[in-house]
């Protein structure tokens, strides 16, 4: 299991489209992806649960990834968290 924290850079926060990209990317990995923000932890493969985190710009988000290809998943998903989305 690996854990890493990221700061969300997207000025508009982490809304529908970024979450969609994130969840679709997460679903492609076999490992378990947990996302924590402001003391709440949810399943990183569920867009609805991700939405309920209410992630805003500059929030710190922690990914906990466990299972097959976890390193690769951390790299891909971490990049999506810090990217600026349309």
Partner 1 sequence: MTQRLTGIAASPGIAVARAVVLNREEYVPARTTVERPEQETARLHEAIGQARAEIERIRDATEQKLGAEKAAIFEGHLLILEDPDLIETTESRIREEAVNAEYALHETAQTFVEALTALEDETLRERAADVRDVSGRIIGILRGAPRRDLSQLDEECIVVAADLTPSDTAGLNLDAVRGFVTEVGSRTSHSAIMARSLDIPAIVGAGPGIRAVADGALVAMDAVEGVLLIDPSPEELAAYTDKKAAYERRQRELRAWAQRPSASADGRRVELAANIGKLEDVQKALDNGAEAIGLFRTEFLYMGRDRLPTEEEQFQSYKYVLEKLAGKPVVIRTLDIGGDKELPYLGLPQESNPFLGRRALRFCLSRPDVFRPQLRALLRASRYGNLKIMFPMVAVLEELTEAKRILEEEKQALVASGEEVADRIEVGMMIEIPSAAVSADLFASEADFFSVGTNDLIQYTMAADRMNETVSYLYQPYHPSVLRLIRHVIDAAHAAGKWVGVCGEMAGDLTAIPLLLGLGLDEFSMSAGSILPARERIGSLNYGEWQALSREALNLRGSGDVQAFVQDRLEGRRDI
- To partner 1, the closest distance from the beta carbon of 70 in angstroms equals 19
> Quick one: 48 exposed, middle or buried, by C-beta within 10 A (0-12, 13-18, 19+)?
exposed
Contacts of partner 1 in 50-79 (CB under 8 A): 51-52, 54, 56-58
- To partner 1, the closest distance from the beta carbon of 69 in angstroms equals 18
Asked if 28 is part of the footprint of partner 1 (rule: CB under 8 A), the reply reads no
Asked if 39 is part of the footprint of partner 1 (rule: CB under 8 A), the reply reads no
Query: Among the residues of the chain, which ranges form H helices?
Result: 16-27, 47-51, 70-82
Calpha distance 56→11 (Å, rounded): 8
Which strands form 2-7's sheet, in the order they lie side by side? 2-7, 60-66, 32-37, 40-43
Our answer to whether residue 85 is catalytic in this structure is: no
List interacting residues with partner 1 (CB under 8 A): 7, 9-13, 15-17, 20, 23, 42-43, 45-49, 51-52, 54, 56-58, 82-84, 86
Task: Please give the positions annotated as active site.
Answer: 15
């Amino acid at each position: 299991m690996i854990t890493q924290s990221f700061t969300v850079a997207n000025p508009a926060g982490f809304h529908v489209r970024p979450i969609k990209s994130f969840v679709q990317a997460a679903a492609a990995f076999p490992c378990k992806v947990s996302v924590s923000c402001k003391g709440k932890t949810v399943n990183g493969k569920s867009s609805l649960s991700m939405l309920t985190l209410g992630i805003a710009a500059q929030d710190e988000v922690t990914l906990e990834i466990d299972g097959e290809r976890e390193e690769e998943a951390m790299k891909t998903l971490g990049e999506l968290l810090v990217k600026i989305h349309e």
